[in-house]
């Protein structure tokens, strides 16, 4: 079984400050990891994914995430947050060995960036 | 526009009724997934289809059913609706449904059961 934990329901950050959204995962085998963002009344939009290779993954809108196998974490980061980054962020995992496995999503973290 | 089209965008219906939600995947994608998003349950996987065949099933109620047609569009049928079925229903698609594929999401159908 696979699972994802996003320990923070909400993250508050001032514009211009670094933003971190935490994610830990559990899978039987090796993971494929994803971050998605959801703006109000919109569907989820893909930000970035880790499949293999470099542990630091760069994605859309200046976001990046670091895969840490020993800590089973995949935290999302942005060096300087914008007010427009305020949204709901979802981490998701798939087991690499499970060809038809679904993406398991975390509960989501609401990010609020204040001017 | 993500390329995944969901209709209708909003639906209001009474308890006990039946509704059909429609999804057209992004061009070239063979796999379709349905998710339910509610405030208390988060994003719940319902069902996956690949090229017309059911591939994976999640927490889908017996009152719910889905299918994927030869033109690859998919329909989610919800029957004997209850107040608790009120939620956002998302469709997503991917190229092949394999583990490394990410999903492309539609903008969702907001279902309100009154």
- Quick one: pLDDT band at residue A101, thresholds 50, 70, 90? low
Cβ distance B102 to A46 less than 8 Å, yes or no, reads yes
On whether the CB atoms of residues B105 and B91 are closer than 8 A, the answer is yes
Q: First-to-last CA distance in chain A?
A: 41
Residues of A in contact with B106 (CB under 8 A): 43
On whether the CB atoms of residues B105 and B3 are closer than 8 A, the answer is no
Give A34's Cβ-side CA count (13 Å radius). 24
Residue A75 has pLDDT above 70, yes or no: yes
Residue A60 has pLDDT above 80, yes or no: yes
Across-strand partners of A36?
A: A46, A90
Q: Does B86 contact A at CB distance below 8 Å? A: no
On whether the CB atoms of residues A57 and A65 are closer than 8 A, the answer is yes
**pLDDT, position B21:** 98
Determine phi and psi for B4, rounding to 5 degrees: -100, 125
B14 CB-near residues (< 8 Å, 6+ apart):
B81, B113, B114
Q: In the structure encoding, which two tokens stand for residue A38, read together?
A: 């959801």
Determine phi and psi for A82, rounding to 5 degrees: -115, 155
Question: Is pLDDT larger for residue A3 or for residue B19?
Answer: B19
SS3 call for A97 = coil
pLDDT tens-digit readout, A38-51: 998 788 999 999 98
Question: Is pLDDT larger for residue A97 or for residue B64?
Answer: B64
Question: CA of B39: which chain A residue's CA is closest?
Answer: A107
pLDDT tens-digit readout, A19-40: 999 999 999 888 999 999 999 8
- Quick one: pLDDT band at residue A95, thresholds 50, 70, 90? confident
Give A74's Cβ-side CA count (13 Å radius). 29
Question: Is pLDDT larger for residue A45 or for residue A97?
Answer: A45
């Amino acid at each position: 079984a696979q699972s994802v934990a996003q320990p923070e329901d909400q993250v508050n950050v001032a514009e211009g400050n670094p933003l971190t959204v935490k994610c830990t995962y559990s899978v039987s085998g090796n993971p494929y990891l994803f971050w998605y963002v959801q703006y109000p009344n919109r569907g989820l939009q893909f930000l970035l994914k880790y499949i293999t290779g470099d542990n630091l993954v760069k994605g859309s809108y200046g976001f990046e995430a670091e895969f840490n196998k020993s800590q089973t974490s995949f935290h999302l980061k942005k060096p300087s947050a914008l007010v427009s980054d305020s949204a709901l962020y979802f981490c998701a995992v798939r087991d690499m060995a499970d060809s038809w496995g679904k993406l398991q999503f975390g509960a989501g973290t609401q990010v609020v960036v204040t001017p | 526009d993500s390329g995944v089209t969901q209709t209708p965008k909003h639906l209001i219906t009474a308890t006990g009724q039946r509704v059909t939600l429609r999804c057209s995947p992004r061009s070239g994608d063979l796999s379709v997934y349905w998710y339910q998003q509610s405030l208390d349950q988060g994003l719940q996987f319902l069902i996956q289809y690949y090229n017309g065949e059911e591939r994976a099933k999640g927490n889908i109620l017996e009152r719910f059913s889905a299918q994927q047609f030869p033109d690859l569009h998919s329909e989610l049928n919800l029957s004997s609706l209850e107040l608790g079925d009120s939620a956002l229903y998302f469709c997503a698609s991917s190229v092949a449904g394999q583990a490394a594929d990410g999903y492309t999401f539609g903008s969702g159908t907001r279902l309100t059961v009154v």
